Chain A
Amino acid sequence: MPEAIGLVVLLPLLGFLGIALFGPRMSQRGAAIFACAMVGLAFLAAVLTALTPLFYSDNWGSYGLYKYDWTLSGTWRVTFGLAADPLSVIMALVVTGVGFLIHVYSIGYMTEHGEDGHMHTEKDYRRFFAYMNLFVFAMLLLVTADNFVWLLVGWGNVGLSSFLLIGFYKNRPSAVAAARKAFVMNTIGDVGLLLGIFVIIANTGSASFSAALTSANLTSGDGSWREWAAMLLLIAAVAKSAQFPLQTWLPDAMEGPTPVSALIHAATMVTAGVYLIVRAHPIFGNSTVALVVVPIIGAFTAFYAATCALAQTDLKRVLAYSTMSQLGYMFMAAGVGAYEAAMFHLVAHAFFKALLFLAAGSIIHSLGGEQDMRNMGGLRKQPAMRMAWIGFTIGALALSGIPPFAGFFSKESILGVFPLFGQATENYNPRGLDPIFLSVIGWVGLLTAFMTAFYMFRAYMLVFEGPQTRLHPHSNPANMSFVLAVLSVLSVVGGFLAMPGLWNFLHDWFQPVLRVFDANAGERGVWFPIQTNGLEIVELVLGVGAGVAGIVIAVGLYTFTRQRAADALQPTLTGTAEEQQRAAEGAVQPRRATGASLLTPRGLEEAEIRRVIAGRNLSPVNKREVGLPTGRILPAAKPKFNPLKLGQQAMTAFLLYGWGFDLIYKMLFSWPGEMTGRLIARFVDQEAEKAVDYGLGGMAWEGSKASRKTETGLVRNYALGILLGTVALLIYVAVQTVQR
């Protein structure tokens, strides 16, 4: 039933409103179960919607359900409407399905190990679930809206709920700073989306997908509006999906609770950019600039993020960069017109990246908030960590593209789009792009696949193998393990949706909605059904080979060499475990490293924010924690000058900072503004203040001193004034009368 899509959107909203309005009357558990139930029911409704083609196939792909006129302006109107078509339904299934699992997981995750040995719910437990439901609602609105304006409403709301959830630990300055950073970056994208919608409406006269993206509209004019619209929508997609050049917010967003990272910053919200490109594919596919720029952005981000992930020491940051990298793959595919492959990877990635994040979350939770991989180790042998180990291993194998896990199928279907040796004919290339260009992108993708496997198994080796950690993991609630099990299964079977060239359920599924439009063919352009690439044996073998090579090298490096000890000497981005523990408890800890420890809480926060924005959150490794010499140079043992080692350290720091983009942006955008402000404050403001003080103020002072003399307080003087005034008035009237 396509109508069930209304229920899909409504139920999470009900959950949010219910907890927001009646939260204090619910118990902590009650609110959590209520939130889970709402998302779970929404998932059932989404399944009901997805069954539509079985019953009445002619009604499939219907737009404008639950129609009403939202804004009327003369003859122009924005109509609210929901779309039940394959694209929105598959997104709704992912959002509600993975969302439901993560909600269930959060019931266990958002607890703390109390003094008495029992688990206690965290403070603000209900607030967390209210925000989560708000996010799910906003995301569903985004993917089911049948027009650009309501897509923007959902788009803005996911940004808001992402902001609220990143800054969920509101007493932690770094979390607040990260939330602010994410919001600012996303706002740049929102502006792009808004302007893009303006361009679309100005040139097509409608905001609805079905009415705006018709062949008549798409071929109107000289086609330059398509370029503008594509570029502006691309800004939005890039900001939301953390692609270059607006990528810096995603690693910092890991300050939020881990289920939030899994739901928002891995599985759903960050894929909204890919969804937007696929949704607006008639615009992107017919823009000559976008056809080149989008794959380049995707390939560069995939490569960039993979290199950054190589050096991270924080488990969640590895996964964050990995997410960015995989989104780059989706952009690559969507950019050249392989929308099915992009959507396939989106779905598969949602499964295994959520699995990886949740497995990482159970490790972090059971270690009491420890996130530094170097303080972990040997967790495979801990019985409490059995499920996390299985989940993480499956997720890592899937991400590395090892058959038969989900990532293998989806990544191969993307790599199959890019012929590595420039062969063009039998490959999928509907846009007729240069085969050399495609092969360059393909080689970057292949290199990224190798690095992906390497950093995932570097993380695996650091966390699960090697010497036992001194931290004592406590066991996690059963619902967390249950969710990990479900997602593990999904990460295995999810890939069997499609194997290009052999079977392809997704192709049949997307057939009604993903019809490619070619504006240059014929008079009015031609719609033709989307093609699918065949089985590319060469790319398949190379892709799996890259994954296997990465795994073998990582395992070898961390088993037989002293790489583990070398990693321990590396500087770190996050604070020590103790600090994180205190932060998790909500205490504002004085950070001596910032030199702002004596400031007021307000000043401390500002200093922290400046530090995070500058990317200067490098704090030296705590000597007691690691038990090895730190990076601090001791006077007794002055190290010899070793260019190789120095270069290696510089490279590590470079990658750890994410190529220093934070610093570049600070120099480019923040610093000029700050300096202008300082200069104005010093020279203009103070002088102007003086001028106002002694100029205007003096004038008023002297003026009042003079005019005060007229106020004598004597009645007769006032009477004289009245008389003279009256006489003057009379004279005036008399003169007027005479003149007339």
Chain B
Amino acid sequence: MSGITITMVISALVFTIGACGVLLRRNPLVQFMSIELMLNAGNLAFISFGGMTGSAEGQVFVLMVLTVAAAEAVVGLGIIVAMFRRRRRIDVDEVNSMEG
């Protein structure tokens, strides 16, 4: 099994774990962590592809993703704090006022 295969399998595994976490957990904090997992699975794939082709572009993309993830975490945590202040409980299934 070559290095690229291992990293790709790990990346896929981590991504799946993250996706399942987003879909199944009801705590937004945990969901956020899962999203981070998914992003990092993507990062892993970028880096390993970059290493395979010997270019720096994969790493550049990772830096971009990290920046975006940080910004997204700020917004997300802000929402979670606002939710907590208003409801004292944080359960995403209770936030369904957009229901049609």
Chain B residues with CB under 8 A of A740 = none
Decide yes or no whether A713 CB sits under 8 A from chain B: yes
Chain A residues with CB under 8 A of B24 = 716
**Are A713's CB and B23's CB within 8 A?**
no
Considering only CB atoms, which chain A residue lies closest to B24 in the complex?
Answer: A716
**Are A719's CB and B23's CB within 8 A?**
yes
Given contacts A719-B23, A720-B23, contact A713 B92 (CB under 8 A): no
Given contacts A719-B22, A723-B19, A723-B23, contact A714 B100 (CB under 8 A): no
**Are A713's CB and B22's CB within 8 A?**
no
Chain B residues with CB under 8 A of A632 = none
Chain A residues with CB under 8 A of B96 = 712-714
Task: Report how many residues on chain B are interfacial, defined by Cβ distance under 8 Å.
Answer: 14
B87 to chain A, nearest CB (A): 14
Considering only CB atoms, which chain B residue lies closest to A708 in the complex?
Answer: B100
**Are A715's CB and B92's CB within 8 A?**
yes
Chain A residues with CB under 8 A of B26 = 716
Chain B residues with CB under 8 A of A713 = 95-100
Residue-wise, chain A 698-740 has the 8 Å CB interface mask toward B (1 for contact) of 0000000000111111111001100100000000000000000
A703 to chain B, nearest CB (A): 13
Considering only CB atoms, which chain B residue lies closest to A716 in the complex?
Answer: B23
Residue-wise, chain B 32-60 has the 8 Å CB interface mask toward A (1 for contact) of 00000000000000000000000000000
**Are B23's CB and A711's CB within 8 A?**
no
Chain A residues with CB under 8 A of B97 = 713
Given contacts A708-B100, A709-B100, contact A714 B23 (CB under 8 A): no
**Are A714's CB and B93's CB within 8 A?**
yes
How many Å lie between the Cα of A710 and that of B98 in the bound state? 11
How many Å lie between the Cα of A505 and that of B22 in the bound state? 107
**Are A714's CB and B19's CB within 8 A?**
no
Q: Select B22's contact among A708, A714, A716, beta carbons within 8 Å.
A: A716
Q: Select B98's contact among A709, A711, A716, beta carbons within 8 Å.
A: A711
Given contacts A716-B23, A719-B22, A719-B23, contact A711 B100 (CB under 8 A): yes
Considering only CB atoms, which chain B residue lies closest to A723 in the complex?
Answer: B19
Chain B interface residues (CB < 8 Å from chain A): 19, 22-24, 26, 31, 92-93, 95-100
Chain B residues with CB under 8 A of A709 = 100
Chain A residues with CB under 8 A of B98 = 711, 713
Given contacts A723-B19, A723-B23, contact A716 B99 (CB under 8 A): no
A496 to chain B, nearest CB (A): 94
**Are B92's CB and A711's CB within 8 A?**
no
Best-surrounded residue of B23, B31, B92, B100 (most CB of chain A within 10 A): B100
B36 to chain A, nearest CB (A): 15
Task: Report how many residues on chain A are interfacial, defined by Cβ distance under 8 Å.
Answer: 12
Considering only CB atoms, which chain A residue lies closest to B92 in the complex?
Answer: A715
24 example contacts (A-B, Cβ-Cβ < 8 A) are as follows: A708-B100, A709-B100, A710-B100, A711-B98, A711-B99, A711-B100, A712-B96, A712-B99, A712-B100, A713-B96, A713-B98, A713-B99, A713-B100, A714-B92, A714-B96, A715-B92, A716-B22, A716-B24, A716-B26, A716-B92, A716-B93, A719-B22, A719-B23, A720-B23
Chain A residues with CB under 8 A of B99 = 711-714
How many Å lie between the Cα of A473 and that of B60 in the bound state? 104
How many Å lie between the Cα of A719 and that of B23 in the bound state? 7
Chain A residues with CB under 8 A of B93 = 714, 716
B32 to chain A, nearest CB (A): 12
Q: A714-B93, A714-B99, A716-B22 are in contact. List 8 more A-B contacts (CB 8 A).
A: A711-B100, A713-B97, A713-B98, A714-B92, A715-B95, A716-B23, A716-B93, A723-B19
Considering only CB atoms, which chain A residue lies closest to B100 in the complex?
Answer: A711
How many Å lie between the Cα of A712 and that of B95 in the bound state? 10
How many Å lie between the Cα of A480 and that of B92 in the bound state? 93
Considering only CB atoms, which chain B residue lies closest to A715 in the complex?
Answer: B92
Chain B residues with CB under 8 A of A719 = 22-23
How many Å lie between the Cα of A708 and that of B99 in the bound state? 8
Considering only CB atoms, which chain B residue lies closest to A719 in the complex?
Answer: B22
B17 to chain A, nearest CB (A): 13
Across the A-B interface, the 3 shortest Cβ-Cβ residue pairs: A711-B100, A713-B99, A713-B96
Considering only CB atoms, which chain A residue lies closest to B93 in the complex?
Answer: A714
How many Å lie between the Cα of A713 and that of B96 in the bound state? 4
How many Å lie between the Cα of A494 and that of B96 in the bound state? 96
B83 to chain A, nearest CB (A): 11
How many Å lie between the Cα of A720 and that of B24 in the bound state? 10
B15 to chain A, nearest CB (A): 10
A713 to chain B, nearest CB (A): 3
Considering only CB atoms, which chain A residue lies closest to B25 in the complex?
Answer: A716
How many Å lie between the Cα of A716 and that of B24 in the bound state? 8
Chain A residues with CB under 8 A of B31 = 715
A714 to chain B, nearest CB (A): 5
How many Å lie between the Cα of A720 and that of B98 in the bound state? 17
How many Å lie between the Cα of A61 and that of B42 in the bound state? 91
Considering only CB atoms, which chain A residue lies closest to B20 in the complex?
Answer: A723
B95 to chain A, nearest CB (A): 7
Considering only CB atoms, which chain B residue lies closest to A710 in the complex?
Answer: B100
How many Å lie between the Cα of A487 and that of B40 in the bound state? 104
How many Å lie between the Cα of A713 and that of B24 in the bound state? 16
Considering only CB atoms, which chain A residue lies closest to B97 in the complex?
Answer: A713
How many Å lie between the Cα of A713 and that of B31 in the bound state? 17
How many Å lie between the Cα of A713 and that of B100 in the bound state? 7
Residue-wise, chain A 157-200 has the 8 Å CB interface mask toward B (1 for contact) of 00000000000000000000000000000000000000000000
B97 to chain A, nearest CB (A): 6
A711 to chain B, nearest CB (A): 3
Chain A residues with CB under 8 A of B100 = 708-713
Chain B residues with CB under 8 A of A716 = 22-24, 26, 92-93
Considering only CB atoms, which chain B residue lies closest to A720 in the complex?
Answer: B23
Chain B residues with CB under 8 A of A714 = 92-93, 96, 99
Chain B residues with CB under 8 A of A708 = 100
B26 to chain A, nearest CB (A): 8
**Interface positions of A from 665 to 717, Cβ below 8 Å from B:** 708-716
How many Å lie between the Cα of A715 and that of B31 in the bound state? 10
Chain A residues with CB under 8 A of B92 = 714-716
A309 to chain B, nearest CB (A): 77
How many Å lie between the Cα of A345 and that of B19 in the bound state? 100
How many Å lie between the Cα of A197 and that of B98 in the bound state? 67
How many Å lie between the Cα of A341 and that of B74 in the bound state? 99
How many Å lie between the Cα of A714 and that of B93 in the bound state? 6
B72 to chain A, nearest CB (A): 14
Chain B residues with CB under 8 A of A723 = 19, 23
A292 to chain B, nearest CB (A): 78
Chain B residues with CB under 8 A of A712 = 96, 99-100
Considering only CB atoms, which chain A residue lies closest to B98 in the complex?
Answer: A713
How many Å lie between the Cα of A357 and that of B23 in the bound state? 94
How many Å lie between the Cα of A708 and that of B95 in the bound state? 17
How many Å lie between the Cα of A213 and that of B51 in the bound state? 89
How many Å lie between the Cα of A720 and that of B21 in the bound state? 11
B20 to chain A, nearest CB (A): 10
A520 to chain B, nearest CB (A): 84
Considering only CB atoms, which chain B residue lies closest to A727 in the complex?
Answer: B19
A27 to chain B, nearest CB (A): 70
Considering only CB atoms, which chain A residue lies closest to B38 in the complex?
Answer: A723
B16 to chain A, nearest CB (A): 10
A475 to chain B, nearest CB (A): 84
B30 to chain A, nearest CB (A): 12
Chain A residues with CB under 8 A of B19 = 723
